[in-house]
Amino acid sequence: MRRWRPSLTGCLAGVAIGGAGRAAVVTVHLDAISAATVPVLVWAAVVGAMIGGLAGLSGAPRIGAALGAVLSALAYIVMVPLALLVAVIGVATAPSLLEMMVVGAVAGFAGGVAERMRRMAPGSMRAQGRTGMKISVLVLGLGLLVTGCATTTMSDVGPTRSGFLGKDYALLTPGDVSKGEAGLRYYNPAAQWRTYAKVLIEPVTFWGDEAGKIEPADQQALGAYFNDSLQRALGEKFELATSPAPGVLRLQVAVVDATAATPGLRTVSLVVPQARTLTTASSLVTGKQAFAGALELEAKLTDAASGQLLSAVVARGVGGGSMKAAAQWKWGDAENAIDLFSKRAASNLHALTTGRATPAELPLPD
């Protein structure tokens, strides 16, 4: 026991840095802490503390850093069979292999520095402590920088049409969803966009077989949310009209498909590294994150006075890799997609009617 005593300082430092560092990284993904996310933080802190403590036992900064990184990589590999267990108990570990290795290396390095400081004279200890702390903070900061994730993205639309756009489907052409464009879209080349200053928003409706599968109560909730979102977004940039008139745009929107998310399972798929690998593979095939929600709409913009078609779109928004979205209720991803559509509609229409952009330049950067 005595021969290990000098390294216990490093072990304790590694436990503290590893546990706190892992919890900090996961916190960035969570965006908000709630009772449901506490087990995730506890699990992350425990794993980080174990790795940091073992690495800190080395008592040498470089060896501790290397050992922390190696142990983190091994933990990543060993935890593959634990993914199913995690799905059952609802707790998780670090978001990615890179973050596991970075925090493990920082914890091991800090443990080595702490042990070396303990052995040094007081004057030298302070100088060494400042140097070690700067390096640790820098490396941990780099780990935190890699955790940003998109919340909602545009996706390719489904193969079936609801009938909402009628004969106007023939006018639609594919858009580039990777650039944020709608899956299918049309802009009337003869439209005189700068003659419009008001928008008349028709109540959102539900069309087609897929939309018909949504429970009536959920349809009512989503429709009310969509109407409010459009009113807020467009009301910031336009005067909202209450009846057709010259110079008024009429916006009609139909929800044609909405898929609820599975919050608990999705949280696991985002936080557990091995599950997230499977989620990525699934998203490449299906066009959305595993267990994430989605919403597809068809919309048309007409001259409120003449009925001339000015624009039409078919667009689909899907939930992205965000812990904040994963913790929402089952229609949280659909609501995020609604807000994205509303915001894009308002900014794009404002750009067209003010002459800031042409249809070919849309959508504008968020």
Residue 110's closest CA among 74, 58, 145, 146?
Answer: 58
Q: 145, 170, 188: which is the final residue of a domain?
A: 145
Has residue 335 got a pLDDT over 90?
no
Residue with token string 């503290």: 16
Beta carbons of 103 and 18 less than 8 angstroms apart: yes
Whether residue 353 is found in the same domain as residue 240 = yes
pLDDT digits (tens, 9 = 90+) for 99-110: 677 777 787 777
| Residue 266 falls inside a structural domain | yes
Q: Is 157 helix (H, G, I), strand (E, B) or coil?
A: coil
Alpha-carbon dihedral of residues 98, 274, 263, 177, nearest 10 degrees? Answer: 70
| Residue 366 falls inside a structural domain | no
For the chain, what percent of residues have pLDDT higher than 70? 61
Whether residue 179 is found in the same domain as residue 97 = no
Has residue 233 got a pLDDT over 90?
yes
| Residue 163 falls inside a structural domain | yes
Local confidence band at 348 (pLDDT 50, 70, 90 cut-offs) = very high
Residue 312's closest CA among 187, 195, 205?
Answer: 187
Give the type of residue at 224: A
- Which tokens in the block code for residue 7? 């390294």
Distances (CA, A) of 132 to 51, 125, 252: 19, 10, 61
Whether residue 202 is found in the same domain as residue 299 = yes
Q: 104, 128, 145: which is the final residue of a domain?
A: 145
The pLDDT value recorded for residue 268 is 34
Whether residue 304 is found in the same domain as residue 204 = yes
CA distance 153 to 175: 14
Q: In this structure, are strands 184-187 and 309-319 parallel, antiparallel, or unpaired? A: antiparallel
The pLDDT value recorded for residue 39 is 67
Domains contained in the chain, number: 2
Q: 145, 180, 210: which is the final residue of a domain?
A: 145
Whether residue 47 is found in the same domain as residue 163 = no
pLDDT digits (tens, 9 = 90+) for 249-298: 999 999 999 887 544 333 333 333 433 333 333 343 344 444 367 899 99
Give the type of residue at 208: G
The segment with the largest mean pLDDT, out of 23-27, 68-72, 161-165, 334-338, is: 161-165
Q: In this structure, are strands 239-240 and 198-201 parallel, antiparallel, or unpaired? A: parallel
Whether residue 130 is found in the same domain as residue 197 = no
Rounded to two decimals, what is the model's pTM? 0.55
Phi, psi angle pair for 310, to nearest 5°: -105, -35
Letter string b/e over residues 20-54, b meaning 16 or more CB atoms within 10 A of that residue's CB: bbbbbbbbbbbeeeeeebeebbebbbbbbbbbbbb
DSSP-assigned states of every residue in 134-148: HHHHHHHHHHHHTT-
Helices and strands in the chain: count of H runs, count of E runs: 12, 9
Beta carbons of 47 and 12 less than 8 angstroms apart: no
The chain-wide mean pLDDT, for the chain, equals: 74
Rg of the chain over CA atoms, in angstroms?
Answer: 27
Domain holding 160, by residue range, is 152-361
CA distance 70 to 56: 13
CA distance 102 to 68: 8
